[in-house]
Amino acid sequence: MSKSRRAAAVALAIGLMIPLSAVAQEITVWRSPACGCCHLWAKRLEASGMSVKMIDADDLAKIKTERGMPSELASCHTAVVAGYAIEGHVPAREVKRLLAERPDAIGLAVPGMPAGAPGMDAKSSGPFDVLLVKKDGSTTIYARYP
């Protein structure tokens, strides 16, 4: 076997031993340039092992519409990961659960900017729901916090 073929075989073998979960999942986030909490949310995602790409956008409504996110679920930023839309301050744990379960859905949403949600670091926090947004625009509760 030639050196180049041997090197390719070794690289393939090593690549097969690395679980996909060890590779950082990339998430792209569109946000208003004037918003500061989006960066705080992105830091939480990065701390959970995700790779975050931030894009400043002047027309967030257009991005939400393009991703199929109903306007009544709007928040201050919209993200896309593995084809799913993530609207607002969704906890990293729920994003990872979505990627593991792969439901037939548009994605997840935490409407508005509730106190206590990741990136909305407040001393007082109320409960909030993470919603699974179905393809027909309807929602079900995916997770409840706290």
Report all structural domains of the chain as residue ranges with CATH numbers, in order of start.
Answer: 25-145 (3.40.30.10)
Q: Using DSSP, how many helices (H) and how many strands (E) does the chain show?
A: 4, 7
Per residue in 31-80, pLDDT tens?
998 888 999 999 999 999 999 999 999 999 999 999 999 999 999 999 99
Query: What average pLDDT does range 82-100 have in this prediction?
Result: 97
Which residues partner with 14 through β-bridges?
none
- The one-letter code for the residue type at 88 is G
The mean pLDDT of the chain is 87
Note the pLDDT of residue 24.
74
Per cent of the chain over pLDDT 90 is 73
The encoded tokens of residue 60 equal 């967030």
pLDDT-based confidence at 126, cuts 50/70/90?
Answer: confident
